[in-house]
């Protein structure tokens, strides 16, 4: 697959503080790439360097295999941190300005306003928008040039669960369009739901990078409940059982390699036990995330 | 930017005041004269040829030059807003280069200066034709070169305001510094050129940035008190002011190029 972004030993110092430290990263076309990391880990600073507003201390990066210029940026739609618009202009007018800077066709404006469902408020001044509407206008502005890549820095910051779900749907729709997306976020659940790949930063250093699907690989945990007094004992007899925990009356069985929930179910059924609850739990990104950060200590 | 209300209100006010003040000077003089007559004394307004060609060029242009502060405040607001609302950052993210950004601001300054020049040209031609008692073509043209000096005066000062905005980035502080600039420069000159120190370096004064802008159009009114004035545009002044205007904009660019925004 074609490499869209390649980062090579990118570093940024703010005085003594090293905000981004020798970062290497690759993003390929069509990926939905999640950037994770605690507050202050350097996500925004990295994106700022990629978008030409923060000057790197050292290191380099290429977009589409070429060193970046302002022309490259026109092919990228990006919103860093907060939505930024002229408060005294309407949403429509702001997008017209964005389109002008990007050299984009202003006929796109109607389309992107539709995508983010802002068409009926487009004539209102930006400063009268709610936070959710501002975030959605920001996504619209990033889309206005029909970019190959979309960069979103915490697009759901400060939104209520419904707003978050709306943005998630928008991002999914855009991703389904085949666009490459780089998404910095704190919401691990969100990243797990929409991203194909992810990277974890900590204090400016890359701790991990890989496909999201890999997170669930490896050992599998199965939740079991049954109306049977000896369930705990029986579970221990099962050859595939690793460790077993009991939590709120539900058994959490960590399976050994190569064993799956259906094997456990079969085993219990043969013992004459019918489960009332049986669920395979993949490891959550959250757990993996905490593990990665923890290992680093 | 284009439909920012405050910007256009100040802009409109500037051109209104500019037009009104310069165009109505003669009427005010006449009014004063009529008051004098009420008290039995007479004042012949035509004795002071404020609005007569060729004097009118330097007179009105000098007066108009005093209004450039209003225009420069507007420039400061427009640039510091770009920082405050972080629209500069978004413009760069959207694919504008830093040079393009500076150029767009400089071009706006050129435009504002040209508009001032055009406005003044119109007022001078109209009022001059009305009030000059006996017109001679040669007289009408003499002094028109002050328009060029006027353009440079406005443009250089707006460039200075733009540079202050780029470096300070906060509107309030920038405006204060802008207002105090003349005073600060005067204090520096005072300390540098104390008579006792060295009288032979007095000629250096003209190289100071704000002084060089002021020198473009010298104060004309002393001539009505039978004093010698400089009634032409000095090439040296043009060259010095032009150099400063270039430097101001170049410094803005350098600062912007290096900054994290
Ligand atoms: N302009 C600046 N001047 C000085 N330090 C800065 C500047 N911008 C960022 N930093 C510092 O760099 C580090 C990384 O900040 P950054 O904003 O990139 O983190 P982040 O991962 O985006 O955090 P968050 O999740 O809170 O958005 C922080 O320690 C921050 O204080
Ligand atoms: Mg951030």
Residue-level pLDDT at B233: 86
Q: Distance between alpha carbon A285 and the CA centroid of its chain, in Å? A: 10
Highest mean pLDDT among A230-244, A250-264, A271-285, B67-81: B67-81
Same domain? For A261 and A279 the reply is yes
CA distances from A275 to A269, A270, B94 (A): 8, 12, 57
Same domain? For A29 and A140 the reply is yes
A197 φ/ψ angles, rounded to the nearest 5 degrees: -135, 160
A128 φ/ψ angles, rounded to the nearest 5 degrees: -90, 0
Same domain? For A21 and A153 the reply is yes
Domain count, chain A: 2
Residue-level pLDDT at B36: 79
Task: Average the pLDDT over each of A49-63, A150-164, B199-213 and give the range with the smallest value.
Answer: B199-213
Give the chain B residue whose CA is nearest to the CA of A50: B93
Distance CA B86, CA A4 (A): 27
Distance from CA of B258 to the nearest CA of A (A): 7
DSSP secondary structure code for residue B231 in this structure: -
Task: Average the pLDDT over each of A18-22, A198-202, B55-59, B237-241 and give the range with the smallest value.
Answer: B55-59
CA-closest residue to ligand 1 atom 30: A40
In a domain, residue A28? The reply is yes
Query: In sequence order, which residues have a C-beta less than 8 Å from that of residue A136 and are 6 or more positions away?
Result: A116, A117, A118, A166, A167, A170
Same domain? For A231 and A121 the reply is no
In a domain, residue A167? The reply is yes
Same domain? For A41 and A181 the reply is yes
Distance CA A262, CA A281 (A): 13
Same domain? For A156 and A52 the reply is yes
- Give the percent of chain A with pLDDT over 90: 49
A144 φ/ψ angles, rounded to the nearest 5 degrees: -65, -30
pLDDT over 50 at B2, yes or no: no
- Residue B97, chain A, CB below 8 Å: the answer is yes
In a domain, residue A88? The reply is yes
Find the ligand nearest to A48 CA: 1
- Residue A87, chain B, CB below 8 Å: the answer is yes
Of B90, B54, B70, B99, give the one whose Cα is nearest residue B6: B70
Query: In sequence order, which residues have a C-beta less than 8 Å from that of residue A63 and are 6 or more positions away?
Result: A4, A5, A50, A72, A75, A76, A149
Query: In sequence order, which residues have a C-beta less than 8 Å from that of residue A266 and are 6 or more positions away?
Result: none
pLDDT over 90 at B140, yes or no: no
The mean per-residue pLDDT over the stretch B158-165 comes to 97
B136: phi > 0 → left, psi -120 to 50 → alpha, else beta; which?
A: beta
Confidence band of B198 (pLDDT split at 50, 70, 90): low
Sign of the Cα torsion B162, B163, B166, B171 reads negative
pLDDT over 90 at A248, yes or no: no
**Mean pLDDT across chain A, nearest whole number?**
89
Same domain? For A211 and A221 the reply is no
Domain count, chain B: 1
Domain boundary among A187, A215, A243: A215
Place of tokens 């001679």: B136
Confidence band of A297 (pLDDT split at 50, 70, 90): low
CA-closest residue to ligand 1 atom 5: A14
- Tell me whether residue B194 is exposed, middle or buried, using C-beta atoms within 10 angstroms of its C-beta: 0 to 12, 13 to 18, 19 or more: exposed
Top-confidence residue, A262 or B163: B163
Task: Average the pLDDT over each of A74-88, A108-122, A216-230 and give the range with the smallest value.
Answer: A216-230
Find the ligand nearest to A187 CA: 1
Which residues hold their Cβ within 5 A of ligand 2, which is an ion?
A 44
Contacts of B258 in chain A (CB under 8 A): 55
> What's the domain range around A133?
3-215
Same domain? For A204 and A110 the reply is yes
Same domain? For A185 and A203 the reply is yes
Domain boundary among A215, A247, A274: A215
Domain boundary among A199, A215, A231: A215
In a domain, residue A292? The reply is no
Same domain? For A242 and A119 the reply is no
Q: Nearest by CB to B94, from A55, A73, A82: name it.
A: A73
> What's the domain range around B116?
5-258
Q: Nearest by CB to A84, from B4, B5, B86: name it.
A: B86
The 8 Å CB, 24+ separation contacts for B158-161 are B158/B68, B158/B71, B158/B72, B158/B75, B158/B109, B158/B112, B158/B113, B159/B106, B159/B109, B159/B244, B159/B245, B159/B248, B159/B249, B159/B252, B160/B72, B160/B209, B160/B210, B160/B213, B160/B244, B160/B248, B161/B72, B161/B73, B161/B75, B161/B76
Give the chain A residue whose CA is nearest to the CA of B256: A53
Contacts of B97 in chain A (CB under 8 A): 69-70
In a domain, residue A296? The reply is no
Same domain? For A263 and A160 the reply is no
What residues form DSSP beta bridges with A254?
A221
Q: Do A78 and B93 touch (CB under 8 A)?
A: yes
Contacts of B96 in chain A (CB under 8 A): 70, 101
pLDDT tens for residues A54-77?
999 999 999 999 999 999 999 999
In a domain, residue A294? The reply is no
Same domain? For A206 and A254 the reply is no
Of B152, B127, B182, B159, give the one whose Cα is nearest residue B250: B159
Say if residues A154 and A163 touch (Cβ distance below 8 Å).
no
Q: Nearest by CB to A88, from B5, B92, B258: name it.
A: B5
Contacts of B91 in chain A (CB under 8 A): 101
Q: Do A101 and B94 touch (CB under 8 A)?
A: yes
Residue-level pLDDT at A43: 95
pLDDT tens for residues A197-222?
999 999 999 999 999 888 777 677 88
Q: Say which CATH number the domain at A264 has.
A: 3.30.70.980
């Amino acid at each position: 697959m074609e490499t869209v972004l390649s980062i090579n030993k990118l570093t940024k110092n703010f005085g003594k503080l090293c905000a981004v430290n020798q970062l290497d990263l690759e993003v390929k076309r069509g990926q939905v790439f999640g950037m994770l990391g605690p507050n202050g880990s350097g996500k925004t600073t990295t994106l700022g360097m990629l978008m030409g507003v923060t000057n790197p201390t050292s290191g380099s990066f290429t977009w589409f295999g070429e060193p970046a210029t302002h022309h490259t940026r026109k092919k990228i739609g990006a919103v860093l941190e907060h939505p930024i618009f002229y408060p005294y202009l309407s949403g429509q007018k702001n997008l017209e300005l964005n389109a002008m800077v990007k050299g984009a066709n202003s006929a796109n404006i109607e389309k992107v306003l539709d995508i983010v469902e802002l068409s009926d408020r487009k004539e209102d001044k930006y400063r009268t928008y709610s936070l959710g509407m501002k975030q959605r206008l920001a996504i619209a502005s990033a889309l206005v040039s029909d970019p190959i890549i979309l960069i979103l820095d915490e697009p759901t910051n400060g939104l209520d669960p419904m707003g978050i779900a709306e943005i998630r749907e928008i991002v999914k729709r855009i991703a389904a369009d085949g666009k490459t997306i780089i998404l910095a976020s704190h919401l691990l659940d969100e990243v797990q739901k929409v991203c194909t790949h992810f990277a974890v930063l900590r204090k400016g250093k890359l701790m991990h990078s890989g496909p999201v699907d890999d997170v669930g690989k490896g050992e599998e945990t199965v939740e079991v409940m049954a109306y049977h007094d000896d369930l705990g004992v029986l579970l221990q007899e099962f050859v595939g059982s690793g460790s077993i925990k009991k939590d709120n009356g539900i058994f959490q069985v960590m399976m050994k390699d190569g064993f799956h929930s259906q094997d456990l179910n079969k085993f219990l059924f043969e013992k004459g036990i019918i489960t009332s609850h049986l669920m395979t739990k993949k490891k959550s990104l959250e757990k993996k995330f905490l593990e990665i950060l923890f290992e680093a200590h | 930017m284009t439909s920012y209300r405050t910007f256009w209100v100040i802009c409109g006010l500037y051109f209104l005041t500019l037009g009104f003040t310069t165009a109505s000077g003669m009427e005010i003089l006449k009014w004063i004269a009529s008051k004098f007559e009420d008290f039995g004394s007479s004042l012949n307004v035509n004795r002071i040829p404020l609005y007569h060609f060729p004097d009118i060029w330097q007179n009105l242009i000098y007066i108009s030059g005093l209004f450039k502060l209003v225009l420069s405040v507007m420039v400061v607001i427009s640039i510091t807003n770009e920082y405050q609302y972080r629209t500069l950052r978004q413009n760069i993210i959207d694919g504008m280069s830093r040079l393009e950004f500076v150029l767009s601001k400089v071009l706006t300054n050129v435009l504002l200066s040209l508009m001032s020049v055009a406005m003044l040209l119109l007022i001078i031609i109209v009022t001059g034709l009305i009030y000059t008692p006996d017109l001679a073509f040669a007289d009408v043209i003499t002094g028109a070169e002050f328009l060029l000096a006027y353009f440079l005066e406005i443009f250089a000062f707006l460039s200075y305001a733009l540079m202050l905005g780029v470096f300070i980035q906060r509107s309030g502080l920038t405006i204060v510094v802008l207002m105090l600039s003349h005073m600060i420069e005067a204090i520096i000159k005072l300390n540098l050129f104390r008579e006792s120190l060295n009288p032979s370096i007095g000629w250096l004064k003209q190289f100071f940035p704000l002084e060089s802008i002021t020198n473009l159009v010298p104060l004309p009114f002393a001539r009505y008190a039978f004093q010698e004035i400089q009634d032409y545009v000095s090439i040296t002044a043009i060259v010095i002011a032009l150099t400063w205007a270039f430097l101001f904009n170049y410094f803005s660019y350098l600062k912007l190029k290096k900054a994290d925004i």
